[in-house]
Amino acid sequence: MSKCGPVMNGIPHGSVISSEGTEGAKFRLSGKGVDQDPKGIFRINEISGDVSVTRALDREAIANYELEVEVTDISGKTIDGPVRLDISVIDQNDNRPMFKEGPYVGHVMEGSPTGTTVMRMTAFDADDSSTDNALLRYNILKQTPTKPSPNMFYIDPEKGDIVTVVSPVLLDRETMETPKYELVIEAKDMGGLDVGLTGTATATILIDDKNDHPPEFTKKEFQATVKEGVTGVIVNLTVGDRDDPATGAWRAVYTIINGNPGQSFEIHTNPQTNEGMLSVVKPLDYEISAFHTLLIKVENEDPLIPDIAYGPSSTATVQITVEDVNEGPVFHPNPMTVTKQENIPVGSVVLTVNATDPDTLQHQTIRYSVYKDPAGWLEINPTNGTIGTTAILDRESPYVQNNIYTALFLAIDSGNPPATGTGTLHITLEDVNDNVPSLYPTLAKVCEDAKDLRVVVLGASDKDLHPNTDPFKFELSKQSGPEKLWRITKLNNTHAQVILLQNLKKANYNIPISVTDSGKPPLTNTTELKLQVCSCKKSKMDCSATDALHISMTLILLSLFSIFCL
């Protein structure tokens, strides 16, 4: 059997010729497009072997079919084949070019040279790429707007590259009606012949700004007035720039290039207005200089393109006038410090303060007064600033912190209105032995039949500082009497112990004890220790005593012969 596999186009047919001459033989066709999906596209004449199609073929859906043909006898038994029958679908130009990758947006820098590539437009054609059915050519149908030239761009007909065709001078963003162009691009198959099918798309081309216009001050000289001692913005410097406000080609950068040796001024850019905000950051002094002249430079964030004939920056002068303000007097030094001994006589001179008026050109007088004197110890001469005492200075006062007493004084000038300065005085107080030591506790209890006769441990304290405090000396006040009842023993520099020498009867006893500090001269304090001798039964202490017994024991105490002090 031989096969004839024609290329099918539309609804053609072909034939299959069998080499056998068997009577009653039939042709049978099978495969995709016959008895396999998509079914029923092809059929074969059982007797003649003619193959035909039942409906139009779509090459873009299936370009090739592989079928099988065999010859069968009357019973259906294969007597020849099967033989493969290849069918190729010949392409027809039934698909238009399509732009599938939009939107198409391109950018080109203003002033770019002629022939600068902006972007590439590519269309797709579903027809056979090996035929003219898919051979595309590109063309610009329309340009909007048409100024400054109706032919600002050119498209390569084969590649689809859009390039500039005008001179760099015409590609000037600042002179255009709009920095955006829209091109209607056509793609035509059949190599661009009139019979070809077409597809269109819109290309948007944005003209990007570059720094081809330097910023320029709106005037060459600006004026500002500021009061001395004040900080903040004093003037806004205005500039013009024709570049795009959304870019670094427009945003201004300001620099003070002369007249600011003390760094008293700073300038920053207002991001909304592009103005230069000139500020005083260190208070100005009228007495040092009443006028300042600054030279300010402005340039863009982005560098200016090198082929611009004029300079990349602009300069302006700022004339600043400082207004005089009545300033308060200033104490020298501040704070003031002095060391004095506590308990100096009332009327003693502590210090003579010194305050000067910064307004040297106004010839003002200064008067002094007390502002804060927490303890009320001080006064100040309003004319010469001499500070004296009106009371005894006491280092142990609650108004003294860490041995330092703090007071505040005012210096007031004769200006209109007057101005005031405040000075701080720290007085360091040296300690004097002016506090007697105190004894604690002053009450002790003991059982009348106690076995441990160590009654109490006494402590002493002193508000003064070393060496005017411990070691302390403890003594029993000397009394006369027939017998010894107790003694006191020193334990360390600050404590001593009272010991009974025998058991005493239930009563209240008053024991006078003297404590002496180590100051020069030393100070002594005598305190009565109340000793209660109690009856103790079943862990219960009864310390009540009759008045008669109390009086009796007091008489005994007064009649003691001697008390030993250890």
Q: Would you state the pLDDT for residue 2?
A: 44
Q: Nearest-CA neighbor of 429 among 412, 407, 445, 448?
A: 407
And the tokens for 354?
């010194």
Q: Determine, yes or no, domain membership for 2.
A: no
Question: Residues 549, 447: one domain?
Answer: yes
Question: Residues 334, 304: one domain?
Answer: no
Question: 37, 54, 88: which is the final residue of a domain?
Answer: 88
Q: Would you state the pLDDT for residue 508?
A: 93
Please state the separation of Cα 385 from the chain's center in Å.
49
Whether the predicted model's global pTM rises above the 0.75 cut: no
Q: Name the one residue in this structure whose structure tokens are 């300069």.
A: 315
Q: Would you state the pLDDT for residue 307?
A: 53
For residues 486 and 456, what is the distance between their CA atoms, to the nearest angstrom? 12
Q: Determine, yes or no, domain membership for 563.
A: no
For residues 545 and 534, what is the distance between their CA atoms, to the nearest angstrom? 8
Beta-bridge mates of residue 52: 13, 43
For residue 65, which phi and psi values (nearest 5 degrees)? -130, 140
Please state the separation of Cα 43 from the chain's center in Å.
81
Question: Residues 67, 116: one domain?
Answer: no
CA distances from 425 to 33, 47, 345 (A): 113, 133, 19
Question: Residues 30, 116: one domain?
Answer: no
Question: 293, 323, 353: which is the final residue of a domain?
Answer: 323
For residue 555, which phi and psi values (nearest 5 degrees)? -65, -40
For residues 77 and 72, what is the distance between their CA atoms, to the nearest angstrom? 5
Question: 273, 298, 323: which is the final residue of a domain?
Answer: 323
What range defines the domain where residue 496 resides?
A: 438-558
Q: Determine, yes or no, domain membership for 66.
A: yes
CA distances from 44 to 75, 229, 532 (A): 18, 109, 142
Question: Residues 542, 448: one domain?
Answer: yes
Structural domains counted in the chain: 5
For residues 489 and 511, what is the distance between their CA atoms, to the nearest angstrom? 14
For residues 335 and 423, what is the distance between their CA atoms, to the nearest angstrom? 6
Question: In the predicted model, is pLDDT for residue 527 greater than 60?
Answer: yes
Question: What is the domain-level CATH number for residue 165?
Answer: 2.60.40.60
pLDDT in tens, 296-346: 999 998 887 765 545 557 899 999 999 989 889 999 999 999 999 999 999
Question: Residues 197, 222: one domain?
Answer: no
Q: Determine, yes or no, domain membership for 4.
A: no
And the tokens for 58?
């779509």
For residue 550, which phi and psi values (nearest 5 degrees)? -65, -45
Give residue 562's pLDDT band: very low, low, confident or very high (50, 70, 90): very low
Question: Residues 203, 234: one domain?
Answer: no
Question: Residues 113, 46: one domain?
Answer: no
And the tokens for 175?
């002179």
For residues 333 and 294, what is the distance between their CA atoms, to the nearest angstrom? 35
Question: Residues 414, 443: one domain?
Answer: no
Q: Would you state the pLDDT for residue 553?
A: 39
CA pseudo-torsion sign 460, 463, 469, 470: positive
Question: Residues 500, 544: one domain?
Answer: yes
Question: Residues 286, 304: one domain?
Answer: yes
Q: Side by side, which strands form the sheet with 221-227?
A: 221-227, 314-323, 291-300, 252-258
pLDDT in tens, 349-379: 999 999 999 888 778 899 999 999 999 999 9
Q: Determine, yes or no, domain membership for 290.
A: yes
Q: Determine, yes or no, domain membership for 95.
A: no
Q: Determine, yes or no, domain membership for 445.
A: yes
Q: Would you state the pLDDT for residue 479?
A: 54
Of all residues in the chain, the percent with pLDDT exceeding 70 is 90
For residues 277 and 232, the answer to whether their CB atoms sit within 8 Å is no
Q: Determine, yes or no, domain membership for 5.
A: no
